[in-house]
Amino acid sequence: MTQKTATIIGATGLIGSHLLQQLQISDTFNTIKVIGRRTAGYKNPKTEELVINFEDEAAFKEAIRGSDVVFCAVGTTNKKVSGNKTAYRKVDFDIPVNAARFAAETGCNSFAVVSAVGANNNSNNFYTRLKGEMEEAVQQQSIPTLVIVRPSLLLGKRNETRIAESLGKWIMKPLSFLIPARMKPIEAADVAKAMVHATNSDLKGNHIFHYPEIKNYAQNIGLE
């Protein structure tokens, strides 16, 4: 079996941490590169940490080079950037778009990125508009397999407390049967599984996954 190199951007986040776990137990990947601003001290022998300044394009591109698949799960919050929309954009737009560009330029076969349900570059909402703009820019890159996942409310244990998200989970989870399929809350672990399975399938071209597609690929069923 040909073994592959995977690269994760955002491995310390909720989805990213599940991506790392999935790849570490996968027989398909013998090298996992984790790109970040600071070291996280991973001990797994398959895992290599690359600490860079994401604004250093040469270093970023070199970190991407040699990847068979790149997973981008970065994301910030209004609280973390103190309401600074320019700083927000640097994380949620610049990093994934540059990652996709460098993946294309270095011959990476597959790219998977986390967006959000409702992403729309014409939205009046800053967050959903930013995600829509990111998706549009990423889709302009020449990557054989591109997977954009649009989860709604994420379920799982974070390393940080998000009050609004916690309240949303408390309200939405028991009422999920009343919620339209695309808006259903979903386990972050399922999102990670779907990203790994989709990028290791025969899927080609650009694809956007909502809840139904994420659940299918999480179970390794694929598109119906």
- 117-144 tens-digit pLDDT: 999 999 999 999 999 999 999 999 999 9
Alpha-carbon gap, residue 206 to 122, rounded angstroms: 20
Helix axis angle for 95-105 and 57-64, nearest 10°, is 60
CA 204, 101, 41, 23: dihedral to nearest 10 degrees? 0
Separation in Å, CA 205 to CA 45, 112, 175, 191, 197: 33, 12, 35, 19, 15
Position 158 scores a pLDDT of: 55
Q: Given a cut of 80, is residue 200 above it in pLDDT? A: yes
- pLDDT, one tens digit per residue, over 14-31 is 999 999 999 999 999 999
Q: Given a cut of 90, is residue 221 above it in pLDDT? A: no
Judge whether 181 and 212 are in contact, CB under 8 Å.
Answer: yes
Q: Given a cut of 90, is residue 163 above it in pLDDT? A: no
Residue 156 banded pLDDT, cuts 50, 70, 90:
confident
Judge whether 159 and 15 are in contact, CB under 8 Å.
Answer: no
Alpha-carbon gap, residue 67 to 101, rounded angstroms: 13
Alpha-carbon gap, residue 181 to 165, rounded angstroms: 19
Delimit the domains of the chain by residue range: 4-218
Higher local confidence (pLDDT), 1 or 65: 65
Position 181 scores a pLDDT of: 75
Q: Which amino acid is at 131?
A: K
Position 178 scores a pLDDT of: 58
CA 74, 93, 223, 165: dihedral to nearest 10 degrees? 50
Q: In this structure, are strands 4-9 and 29-36 parallel, antiparallel, or unpaired?
A: parallel
Average pLDDT, the chain: 91
What's the CATH number for 4-218?
3.40.50.720
Query: What's the mean pLDDT in 57-74?
Result: 98
